Amino acid sequence: MSVPTPTVSPTPAPVVPHTSPLTTALAQLASTVEILGYDDGMHQMLATPRRELHVAVPLRRDDGRVELLAGYRVQHNISRGPGKGGLRFAPGVDVDEVRALAMWMTWKCAVVDLPYGGAKGGVAVDPRGCSTAELERLTRRYTSEIMPVIGPERDIMAPDVGTTEQTMSWVMDTYSVNSGYTIPAVVTGKPLAVGGSLGRATATSRGVVHATAAALADAGTDLTQVTAAVQGFGKVGSHATRFLAEGGARVLAVSDEYGGVHAPGGLDVAALLEHVAATGSVVEMPGTEPIDNAGLLALDVDVLVPAAVEDVLDEDTARTVKARWVVEGANGPTTSAGDRVLAERGITVVPDILANAGGVVVSYFEWVQAQQAYWWTEREIEDRLEQRMHSAYTAVAQRARADGITLREAALVIGVRRVAEAHRLRGLYP
Ligand SMILES: NC(=O)c1ccc[n+]([C@@H]2O[C@H](COP(=O)([O-])OP(=O)(O)OC[C@H]3O[C@@H](n4cnc5c(N)ncnc54)[C@H](O)[C@@H]3O)[C@@H](O)[C@H]2O)c1
């Protein structure tokens, strides 16, 4: 398709406040660059987003008022292929958060060896304060504002916090209508009826549970022997809870932004899912005790799955963790200081760029299927996802053991090295 050339300029390395997801992401990169011995030029190439688009998104409310919302699309790196990353609707979205999330997408796609770079988008809006019609207008306007930089060969979106497969359907339709024909591969995580993939809606959570199982197997145990707690009960946390329970783990507590519930003998997950479908939250689930989010992070369980938002495991909360494994369903749930505390305390952290990569793996499958207009069976998708997650975990765990580093350091070493290699092989133009 022909679209205008984007008029966006490269951005300087961002100045960031003391603590933020971007501080964490840049600190992780700095220590990885040190391990790998790269020079300053390469460090800057890896630290700096290739392209950013800041847009004002006018939203006409149902009552006729017009509000201007801030929107972003950041393409952190496109050396290994088109940008790939979610779209987030949340009140706290700012450009630094989007930059951090885009950078993590770059390393994540490289760790699981997908032919993608890393990108992310966001709009600072509370989707719960919007009607469906308002969400549709907002999504379509945001899409049309960022049209020049997205596309199946440029940058491919997917759902993230506050967005759904319906959001992706509106993005795909807006992009297609403006192009004159249907282009399903511009987004992933869309409904099956418009070219989505079997298994995509649950892929991130399945990947989290494959990563958990692999980490447990490394320690000579398995899901049937462990208890777990899951923070966040959205697209990732709810299915992760279900798959953990189906795998034989006892899930003792779950939470969302409204609060949490705890059942010392194990939650009835089927009843919990029904309760959430009926009420919109896990709180007041019959037969459970209330627990707050701080209590959940500190609960005496074997496996803790943070699957909500960034920065929940900081220096202080990390000291309270009793779990032996932390499996990061969310992006950036652990700050650098929190990570140091967990490592000192001998807690194994399966890092976000590995643990939650199942979503982007099946997004890749969806993109491949859409490009070929040929659809795979659910069995093929599930088997290929499991195989990718296990081989990525094995490579990371072997690197960690060989070099005496943490799983996070090993995953970053593998991801960052692959991206740096692509830079070197492509050379610098002109
Ligand atoms: N959706 C995906 O495929 C995918 C893939 C990889 C990573 N992730 C990451 O997983 C995390 C969750 O994403 P999602 O898609 O499930 O989003 P979602 O919007 O579907 O769910 C978010 C959940 O977190 C809860 N929550 C929000 N703030 C909270 C707080 N302060 N304390 C406790 N709970 C809180 C919400 O109530 C909700 O239950 C994010 O970090 C996201 O970037 C998502």
Report the pLDDT value the prediction gives residue 18, as an integer from 0 to 100.
Answer: 52
Residues 6+ apart with CB under 8 A from 379: none
Neighbour count for residue 85 (Cβ, 10 Å): 33
Based on the residue annotation, tell me whether 235 is a catalytic residue of this protein: no
Using the atom order of ligand 1, give the atom closest to the CA of residue 352. Answer: 7
Can you list the residues of the chain whose pLDDT is less than 50? 1-17
Q: Whose CA is nearest to atom 1 of ligand 1?
A: 160
pLDDT for 2 equals 36
Q: Is 231 in the pocket of ligand 1 (CB under 6 A)?
A: yes
Does the structural domain 21-185 have CATH classification 3.40.50.720?
A: no
Q: 203-346: which CATH architecture?
A: 3-Layer(aba) Sandwich (3.40)
| Å from CA of 26 to ligand 1 middle | 22
pLDDT at 50: 98
> In this predicted model, what pLDDT tens digit does every residue of 88-104 receive, in sequence order?
999 999 999 999 999 99
pTM: 0.94
- From the CB of 89, is ligand 1 less than 6 Å away? no
Closest CA to 264 of 255, 251, 248: 251
List, as residue ranges, the binding site: 84, 108, 204, 363
In the chain, what are the domain boundaries? 21-185, 203-346
Could you read off the pLDDT of 17-41 as tens digits, one per residue? Answer: 457 999 999 999 999 999 999 999 9
Which atom number of ligand 1 is nearest to the Cα of residue 357? 6
Ligand 1 site, residue 204, Cβ cutoff 6 A: yes
